[in-house]
Amino acid sequence: MKEAYKIETKCIQSGWQPSKGEPRVLPIYQSTTFLYENSDQMGRLFDLEDSGYFYTRLQNPTNDTVAAKITDLEGGVAGMLTSSGQAANYYAIFNICEAGDHFVSSSTIYGGTFNLFYVTMKKMGIDCTFVDPDAPEEEIAKAFRPNTKALFAETIANPAIVVTDIEKFAKIAHSHGVPLIMDNTFPTPINCRPFEWGADIVTHSTTKYMDGHAMCVGGCIVDSGNFDWDAHKDRFPGLTKPDPSYHGIVYTEKFGKGAYITKATVQVMRDLGSIQSPQNAFLLNIGLETLHLRMARHCENARKVAEFLNNHEKVAWVNYADLPGDKYYELAKKYMPGGTCGVIAFGLRGGRKVSVDFMDHLKMAAIVTHVADARTCVLHPASHTHRQLSDEQLKEAGVAPDLIRLSIGIEHVDDIIADLEQALSLV
Ligand SMILES: *Cc1c(COP(=O)(O)O)cnc(C)c1O
């Protein structure tokens, strides 16, 4: 892609590149299958001897075009769409981990990802150790074992609004010969590009700001192409040794910098099948076209709301990394100088019961299991998304029992503040 373009331009111009007479707008290739002239042509595709579309579970032109746009926004070499953010994080890890392996994750992560890592992947024989992201390097390094294959964190943790020190994490991962995988859902590449700070693989729940309108569940994985799998051949046999399901292909030999995403596509997606529908990819692409405009407004509104809350006598605490004095203010200024995201975490004096009461009094801001879209919304993680976690696990995840997750939309900020003010007056 044209590297000279600024990120705002890439939101519009990257991805679909029609030639003469083709549709100007990305078409929805609503087809499971693709036509070939003879059996040999098709056979070569199955052997990965030729590249081309043959079945949408593996690849679809609409999906690939949107993945290419997100890859360009992140500054990566290859990407793939998945049916959800959950599938993206699962595949990103499972692509390089198998039964008997281990990985390390920040403890302050999205509740769904925590369940995936703590419960479900354990059932597959893949073990995860959780670490406090603010702990010193030596402390985090203690979690690594000989069979550790990856380090995982969120750039801005959902819902704790913890900002990860990406360079510190990259250094720890690389000194143990494993890639750093960062879930970049909350800042999006508009505000933070983890590859510029040493991350190797980025994942997204595109369900959030990228889609932006709460229309489609979706996910994406992007590879920077920077991690040298061959330098750690024995640690990553799935990429560096022959794949019996493809007549002995070695992904790093045949696909070079495309090895990781090719394997994720032709093996993990082929066998597990969490593909995004082309219709959803089309809608996601429309969201991406305004991502830069929306992120700016989300952040501008959230900064004003965070200040309002911070100055309100009924508010006990506010976590918002763009707020001067916030614990993560310095890290946010370093990694996302243009703004963080529209999500604020805060608690009210009087604790959990008052927090829940307050939410019930809101008129415009709806209580929904969603975050990071155009409409202002709220959620009480301890009662909703993180309901399955014990008090101890809640604490490790940075989720206080009274934490209200407030996702600031792109309405006029005066209306958002007025709604908060009237609800606060009633508790
Ligand atoms: C929502 C979310 C996920 C899960 O994504 P889905 O699209 O809901 O499957 C993963 N990571 C983060 C940071 C999220 O906010």
pLDDT in tens, 9-23: 999 999 999 999 999
Question: Could you write out the DSSP letters of every residue in 193-254?
Answer: -GGGGT--EEEEETTTTTT-SS----EEEEE-S---GGGGTTT-HHHHS-BGGGTTB-HHHH
User: Residue 110 C-alpha to ligand 1 middle, in angstroms?
Assistant: 7
State pTM to two decimals: 0.96
Measured distance CA(291)–CA(373) in Å, rounded: 11
**Protein residue with least CA distance to atom 12, ligand 1:** 110
* pLDDT tops 60 at residue 2: no
Q: What pLDDT is attached to residue 384?
A: 84
**pLDDT 10s digits, 292-344:** 999 999 999 999 999 999 999 999 999 999 999 999 999 999 999 999 999 99
User: Residue 153 C-alpha to ligand 1 middle, in angstroms?
Assistant: 13
Q: What pLDDT is attached to residue 48?
A: 86
Q: What pLDDT is attached to residue 389?
A: 79
**pLDDT 10s digits, 142-165:** 999 999 999 999 999 999 999 999
**Residue to mutate, 82, 208, 385, ligand 1, most ligand atoms under 8 Å from C-beta:** 208
Q: What pLDDT is attached to residue 47?
A: 86
- Ligand 1 atom at shortest distance from the alpha carbon of 372: 15
User: CB under 6 Å to ligand 1: residues?
Assistant: 84-86, 89, 110, 112-113, 154, 158, 183, 185, 205, 207-208, 217, 219
Measured distance CA(259)–CA(237) in Å, rounded: 12
Residue partners of 291: CB distance under 8 A and separation at least 6: 11, 73, 188, 190, 209, 210, 212
- 195-199, 323-327, 389-393: range with lowest mean pLDDT: 389-393
- Ligand 1 atom at shortest distance from the alpha carbon of 86: 9
Q: What pLDDT is attached to residue 4?
A: 84
User: Residue 221 C-alpha to ligand 1 middle, in angstroms?
Assistant: 12
* pLDDT tops 70 at residue 1: no
- Ligand 1 atom at shortest distance from the alpha carbon of 109: 13
User: Residue 230 C-alpha to ligand 1 middle, in angstroms?
Assistant: 31
- Ligand 1 atom at shortest distance from the alpha carbon of 207: 7
User: Residue 155 C-alpha to ligand 1 middle, in angstroms?
Assistant: 13
Residue whose entry in the numeric block shows the structure tokens 């879209």: 373
**Residue to mutate, 70, 83, 185, 405, ligand 1, most ligand atoms under 8 Å from C-beta:** 185
* pLDDT tops 90 at residue 45: no
**pLDDT 10s digits, 75-93:** 999 999 999 999 999 999 9
**Protein residue with least CA distance to atom 8, ligand 1:** 85
User: Residue 425 C-alpha to ligand 1 middle, in angstroms?
Assistant: 33
**pLDDT 10s digits, 284-293:** 999 999 999 9
User: Residue 185 C-alpha to ligand 1 middle, in angstroms?
Assistant: 7
Residues 177 and 232 sit within 8 Å (Cβ to Cβ): yes
- Ligand 1 atom at shortest distance from the alpha carbon of 112: 4
- Ligand 1 atom at shortest distance from the alpha carbon of 157: 13
Q: Which of 78, 118, 73 is nearest to 95 (CA)?
A: 78
Q: What pLDDT is attached to residue 3?
A: 59
User: Residue 205 C-alpha to ligand 1 middle, in angstroms?
Assistant: 5
DSSP H helical segments within 341-399, as ranges? 352-361, 391-396
Measured distance CA(419)–CA(90) in Å, rounded: 38
Measured distance CA(291)–CA(282) in Å, rounded: 15
**Residue to mutate, 120, 158, 280, 377, ligand 1, most ligand atoms under 8 Å from C-beta:** 158
Give the angle 99-105-109 at the CA atoms, nearest 5°. Answer: 120
